[in-house]
Structure formats: C-alpha cells, structure tokens
C-alpha cells in the first residue's frame, strides 16, 4: 500500500506563548517546534500498516517554511521512506481551503492508496484539513480513527465516538483517514534510523495554483478572559498545603 501522511509542525506544548506585534498571531522567532501529536500517531499507523502488509511506501508531506524540514527528517528517521515539503512561507495567510488545496496538488501527483492526517492540529485546532482534503480529492474519508485494518479491496476502521463509544466503518480505497491519538504505541527513532534518514529523499515542491482569497480571516488573537473568579493560593509548598487543607475541611468538606 502506498500511504501518504500529512504532518504539521506545531509549537512545543510547553513553549512560552507571546502574541505578535500585529496582534494576529504569535511571535514565532523564539519558539521551538515539534510534530503535531495526532500526526505522530498517523505516521505510526502508516509504518505499522506497511510492516503488516510487508510492502508499500510511506511518504510524509508537510506544507510550511524551511524549518519544517527538521520535523520531516524526524519522520524519515522513524521509518518513512520519502518526504515532501510544500513551500508555504506564510501559512497564516491561508485558510483551511488554501492549505488543503496545496496539499491536494502535491498528494495527487503521488496517487496514494491511503492518506492519513491527524484529527486536529494543536495550534489552530481546526480539525478540518483532512476532511477538506478528501473532498478536494473526491475520495471517501472517516474521522477520529483509532484502528485501521486492510480488507482486500478496502479498509475496516474503528471510529471513536463521544463518551467512550466506538463504531466500525468499512470503506473502499483510495481513502483518507484522520487519526486520533492513542491507537498505537509511538516508536522512537533509532540511531540507525537517524543515520539512514540523512540519505533519504526530502524534496521541496512549490504550489502551482495561486491561492484564492481566504473565505475566513483571523483578525485578532488575545488572552482569554477568566470565566470564574479563581482564588490563587500562594506561599511555600507547606503554606499552600495548609491552606488547601483548610479549604478541604471547611468548604469542600472532604476531610
């Protein structure tokens, strides 16, 4: 099976966030980046599918500026066969349709059997790019997927639903799945893998279709207002502990 995995590079979770001067995005200069977490699970699923079927190819694709190549290299070190970076220096100027369009163009050229994306990005949290991409490519899709099983002509997937429910869905190939975290155990890159990754192909392509005007625009980002009055407890750990015990005794009545 030929599998394309769309991965996004996002700010590290613990990275300190500062709002950019124009108030429309965050200061990127001082951030460190990593692979979007559900995308790591999408890559893992792709690698395991290739290992299970004993043949095929795993291609990782990312749209973004040059810095995303470090994340693509990491995916190669974990076992992806090839990587494609789609040049997009200013992702912020594109909406979901814009990003999905340039992904669609690059992926179409590969005619994969299966496309995997993460279910949602940690930074924008849109949860849409995969579904839009499937629609643009006119292939079936399923979202929030925990398990993938090839069935001759197609796939049987396990979809997560709300409140601990699941559902199996069968679908023909080619198809697109958006992968939820937790379906597999993630692997680490081995030293051997890291060495090999240096010789693997990482090519850069530029989108040929000019972006259409965005349908939606992000105007302003800001810190959320508190919904509830939170009383902050301060002091040394022992002082804090004593105050919490007081609250537990007299307010929560847990002690």
Partner 1 sequence: MSGVLVVMEQRSGTWNRMSFEALAAGLDLAAKLGLECTAAIVGDAVQSLPWQSDTQPKTVYAVEDSLLKDYTSDGFVTALEQLIRKLQPGYVLFPHTYQVRDFAPALATRFGQVLISDVIAIHDGPVFVRQLLQGKLNADYRHSSTGPCFVSVQAGSFRAEASSGGSMSMEAFAPALESSTIRNKPGERFRESAQTVDLTAAPLIVSVGRGIGEQDNLPVVEELATALGAELAASRPICDNGWLPMERQVGSSGQTVSPKLYLAVGISGAIQHLVGMKGAKTVIAINKDENAPIFEVADYGIVGDLFEIVPALTKAIQAAKS
Ligand X SMILES: Cc1cc2nc3c(=O)[nH]c(=O)nc-3n(C[C@H](O)[C@H](O)[C@H](O)COP(=O)(O)OP(=O)(O)OC[C@H]3O[C@@H](n4cnc5c(N)ncnc54)[C@H](O)[C@@H]3O)c2cc1C
CA distances from 1 to 27, 85, 169, 175, 248 (A): 40, 21, 19, 12, 57
Does 136 bind ligand AMP (CB under 6 A)? Our answer is: no
- CA–CA separation, 114 vs 153, rounded Å? 12
Strand 114-118: give its sheet, edge to edge: 154-160, 141-151, 175-179, 114-118, 2-6, 57-64, 82-87, 202-205
Cα torsion 156, 53, 76, 190: sign: positive
Q: How far is the CB of 72 from ligand AMP (least distance, A)?
A: 10
Residues within the interface to ligand X (CB under 6 A): 13, 119-120, 144
The minimum distance between CB 121 and ligand AMP, in angstroms, equals: 3
Report if residue 137 touches ligand AMP, rule: CB under 6 A. Answer: no
Among 121, 143, 180, 184, binds ligand AMP (CB under 6 A): 121
Work out how close the CB of 126 gets to ligand AMP at its nearest, in angstroms, rounded to a whole number.
Answer: 4
Structural contact between residues 236 and 230, judged by C-beta atoms closer than 8 angstroms: no
CA angle 104, 78, 107 (to 5 degrees): 10
Pick between residue 70 and residue 151 the one whose CB is nearest to ligand AMP. 70
Q: Is 220 in the site for partner 1 (CB under 8 A)?
A: yes
Give the helix/strand (H/E) hosting 143: strand 141-151
Answer for which of 70, 167, 190, 209 binds partner 1 (CB under 8 A) is 167
Kindly state the helix (H) or strand (E) to which residue 115 belongs, with its residue range: strand 114-118
Nearer Cβ to ligand AMP (28/239):
28
Phi, psi of 155 (to 5 degrees): -135, 150
Binding partner selected for residue 247 from partner 1, ligand X, ligand AMP, none, CB under the kind-specific 5 to 8 Å limit: partner 1
Stretch that binds partner 1, among 69-77, 84-92, 108-116, 242-250 (CB under 8 A): 242-250
Q: What, of ligand AMP, ligand X, partner 1, none, does residue 169 touch, CB below 5 to 8 Å by kind?
A: partner 1
Question: Among 81, 57, 66, 72, which Cα is nearest to 8's?
Answer: 72
In terms of CB distance, is 120 or 184 closer to ligand AMP?
Answer: 120
Binding to ligand AMP in span 80-109, by CB under 6 A: 91, 96, 99, 103
Residues 152-171 that bind ligand AMP (CB under 6 A): none
Angle at 136 between CA 45 and CA 98, to 5 degrees: 95
Residue 150 buriedness (CB in 10 A; 0-12 / 13-18 / 19+) = middle
Which span sits near partner 1 by CB under 8 A: 43-51, 71-79, 136-144, 203-211?
136-144
Which residues form the interface with ligand AMP (CB under 6 A)? 6-8, 36, 38-39, 61-64, 91, 96, 99, 103, 117-118, 120-121, 124-130
């Amino acid at each position: 099976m030929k599998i394309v995995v769309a991965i996004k590079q996002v700010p590290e979770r613990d990275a300190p966030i500062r709002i950019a001067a124009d108030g429309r995005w965050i200061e990127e200069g001082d951030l460190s980046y990593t692979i979007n977490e559900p995308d790591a699970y999408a890559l893992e699923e792709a690698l395991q599918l290739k290992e299970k079927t004993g043949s095929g190819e795993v291609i990782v694709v990312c749209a973004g500026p040059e810095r995303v190549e470090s994340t693509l290299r990491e995916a190669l070190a974990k076992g992806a066969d090839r990587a494609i970076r789609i040049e997009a220096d200013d992702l912020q100027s594109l909406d979901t349709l814009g990003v999905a369009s340039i992904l669609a163009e690059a992926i179409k050229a590969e005619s994969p059997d299966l496309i995997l994306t993460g279910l949602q990005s940690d930074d924008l949290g849109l949860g849409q790019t995969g579904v839009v991409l499937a629609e643009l490519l006119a292939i079936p899709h399923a979202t929030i997927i925990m398990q993938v099983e090839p069935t001759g002509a197609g796939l049987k997937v396990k979809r997560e639903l709300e409140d601990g429910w699941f559902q199996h869905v069968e679908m023909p190939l080619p198809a697109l799945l958006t992968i939820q975290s937790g379906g597999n155990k993630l692997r680490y890159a081995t030293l051997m893998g890291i060495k090999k990754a240096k010789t693997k192909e990482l090519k850069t392509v530029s989108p040929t279709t000019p972006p259409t005007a965005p349908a939606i625009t992000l105007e302003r980002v800001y810190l959320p207002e508190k919904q509830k009055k939170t009383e902050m407890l301060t002091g040394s750990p022992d002082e804090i502990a004593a105050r919490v015990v007081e609250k537990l005794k007299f307010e929560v009545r847990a002690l």
